[in-house]
Amino acid sequence: MFLLFPGRHQLLTRFQFDYLNQLVKEGLNEAVDIDSHPLKRKDRIEGIVFAITSANHSNTRRNPLPFYLRAISIHEFARKLGVPSYIYGVDDVGTLDSFASYTLKRVYHESEGAIDLQPENTLVLCSTPVLQMYEQLGFRILPAELTDRTTWKHKTPLPWDVVERIAGDTQWTSNEWIAQHMHEASLHIWKQYRLGEKVSVLFKDHMISEDGDITTTRDYNTYVRQMDEIAELKYTETAPYIKQGRIGDIGCAVGSWIKLASKDIRFRESDFYGIEVARHLFDICQQRKHNGEFANPFVFFSQRNAVTGLVFDRHSMNSIHTSSLTHEIESYGSRTDLLAFIQNRYDELATGGNWINRDVVGPSDKNDEVLLWVNDRDGRNTDWEQVFHSREALSHYLSGLSTYGRFLRFANDFRHSEGYHLKYEIISVQSRQFIKLKLNDACEFMSRKEYIDNWQSEMHETFCFWDFDEWKQHLESVGFAIAPESKAYTNPWIVKNRLEGKAEIYKMEEGQLVRKDYPVTNMLMIAEKR
């Protein structure tokens, strides 16, 4: 008879060991199942199968430990139980009603058919609602910590309760409650690898979801394609300012910028460090490295959040590159987070090093009132306020709206959940219809109106919170010197492909309607630590 013990297994408890040890030593005859019925089985336990779920996830609030550390801890934990233990990783596959079946098939596959877990030869040990999936397959369930399945009450803290206690206690290694419940095998691993500090940082991170994503509404297939398409432009623009040595790319997405830099003969003796917080993108970086896509072998990726602390050693980096990242910190985090990010980059750079930041930027006259003309004949003007529950349906619907109709939708959706109210007025001037609003809001719309595949995600983001001079002031306040090559500019591709014939900016000057140039859209900021 096998025992199947599925779970994320971030931590093991003394109770779990005592419970399993009793089953092994005393047998299954008197043990009771989830319904308090005696098992009445004479056969002995021939092995315990630990199925580690979310094995492909790590460094997130929900799964802080990588698979290998969880496996090491389990191996040490099970060594004293006196029966063979088998450890198999089960990848996260999202919400799946048949996840129990998937887990069983993964174990069968990973064991090359040696372990075929069936209701006739296996008991499942589980104390969470996951047990219902195994019941539906005919397995009997051992309750472990669970005392009442209607209220999900437990007789002793669950492993995750201990993890949460560690996350909230900087002196956790001397906490008697934690020592009372945490098994020594986990305690050893957590201390040796300083996992308490890691978990504390992850739990304090309010920008990132528990599964390590900055937003849950982004279509990563579209996003990855866009990142690859503009990678060469990003690299060409930033390459002249990269310094040899230790080169970091924070928010490296799928590693496209590093891939191009690693081919540059100037950096053949340099080391590259890619930092990406979004789990989907980090996984792609790792896969690309496995595929041998980077010309320089000294390329290293980490899944970390550069807002909550340093991601490189102090005074260690010669160049740090970021692209289209800082506005996301302001958008999904706070102004405090952005200021902390700036300080962290300064602290990481060696003297003479630089931070190359390529991002969107606001116009210097962003608070001025302007008249925005938008095309109302390039699509549908009515029915702009519909609600959709799928990203695909919303994208298709938005594609049929005119630029004017899309503005009305934008004004309704833009940072609505953040409490922002976009103020505008529809007026007529010289027999033409205009939208009267602040230039800042006009720029936010013009920069975002084509992002229909990721509309919900984009509506959380702000591009124009600082103009170029404000950026310089904040960087200089922490000690940076701004290189003269730094600039704000209007992207000609955006003008030609997204604005001409779609939107125009006007002002009233001495009673006359005057068309203005398109405002700046992007900046290249080269901040030096001198």
With respect to residue 416, please indicate whether it lies within any of the assigned structural domains.
Answer: no
Mean pLDDT computed over 168-186: 96
> Which of 174, 204, 234 is the last residue before a domain boundary?
204
The pLDDT-based confidence of 61 (bands split at 50, 70, 90) is: confident
251, 152: one domain: no
4-18, 117-131, 198-212, 357-371: least confident range: 198-212
84, 161: one domain: yes
Name the 3-class secondary structure at 422: coil
Instruction: List pLDDT tens digits, range 93-109.
Output: 888 889 999 999 999 99
161, 243: one domain: no
With respect to residue 496, please indicate whether it lies within any of the assigned structural domains.
Answer: no
187, 158: one domain: yes
245, 146: one domain: no
The pLDDT-based confidence of 226 (bands split at 50, 70, 90) is: low
DSSP letters along 464-485, please? Answer: -SSBHHHHHHHHHHTT-EE-TT
Measured CA distances, 36 to 141, 143, 154 (Å): 10, 9, 14
With respect to residue 246, please indicate whether it lies within any of the assigned structural domains.
Answer: yes
241, 181: one domain: no
Mean pLDDT computed over 64-72: 95
> Which of 169, 204, 239 is the last residue before a domain boundary?
204
- What's the gap between Cα 58 and its chain centre? 11
**309-321 exposure pattern, b = at least 16 Cβ within 10 A, e = fewer:** eebbeeebbbbbb
With respect to residue 211, please indicate whether it lies within any of the assigned structural domains.
Answer: no
Give the percent of the chain with pLDDT over 90: 84
pLDDT for 421 equals: 96
Instruction: List pLDDT tens digits, range 319-331.
Output: 999 999 999 999 9
130, 247: one domain: no
pLDDT for 129 equals: 94
For 131, the token pair is 């047990």
Into how many domains does the chain fold?
A: 2
For 210, the token pair is 């528990």
307, 229: one domain: yes
The residue among 16, 8, 21 whose CA lies nearest residue 58 is 8
Question: Residue 132 pLDDT > 70, yes or no?
Answer: yes
Mean pLDDT computed over 53-72: 91
199, 253: one domain: no
The residue among 122, 24, 11 whose CA lies nearest residue 72 is 11
Range of 324's domain? Answer: 220-360
The pLDDT-based confidence of 389 (bands split at 50, 70, 90) is: confident
> Which of 204, 229, 247 is the last residue before a domain boundary?
204
| Cβ–Cβ under 8 Å, residues 435 and 426 | yes
pLDDT for 214 equals: 52
pLDDT for 305 equals: 84
With respect to residue 448, please indicate whether it lies within any of the assigned structural domains.
Answer: no
86, 178: one domain: yes
- What's the gap between Cα 518 and its chain centre? 34
Instruction: List pLDDT tens digits, range 477-487.
Output: 999 999 999 99
With respect to residue 450, please indicate whether it lies within any of the assigned structural domains.
Answer: no
With respect to residue 349, please indicate whether it lies within any of the assigned structural domains.
Answer: yes
327, 185: one domain: no
* DSSP H/E element including 196: helix 195-204
With respect to residue 253, please indicate whether it lies within any of the assigned structural domains.
Answer: yes
pLDDT for 527 equals: 98
Mean pLDDT computed over 256-265: 95
Q: Which sign, positive or negative, has the C-alpha torsion 232, 234, 237, 241? A: negative
Contacts of 200 by beta carbon, 8 Å cutoff, 6+ apart:
166, 167, 168, 170
The pLDDT-based confidence of 270 (bands split at 50, 70, 90) is: very high
The pLDDT-based confidence of 85 (bands split at 50, 70, 90) is: very high
The pLDDT-based confidence of 212 (bands split at 50, 70, 90) is: low
Instruction: List pLDDT tens digits, range 401-445.
Output: 999 999 999 999 999 999 999 999 999 999 999 999 999 999 999
170-184, 205-219, 417-431, 488-502: least confident range: 205-219
pLDDT for 207 equals: 58
195, 241: one domain: no
Stronger pLDDT, 220 or 375, i.e. the higher one: 375
Mean pLDDT computed over 158-182: 95
**CATH code of 238's domain:** 3.40.50.150
Mean pLDDT computed over 210-237: 65
Question: 10 Å Cβ neighbour count for 152?
Answer: 11
- 3-state SS of 331-380 is HHCCHHHHHHHHHHHHHHEEEEEEEEEEEECECCCCCCEEEEEECCCCCE
The pLDDT-based confidence of 277 (bands split at 50, 70, 90) is: confident
**CATH code of 36's domain:** 3.40.50.620
Interhelix angle for 279-290 vs 220-229, to 10°?
60
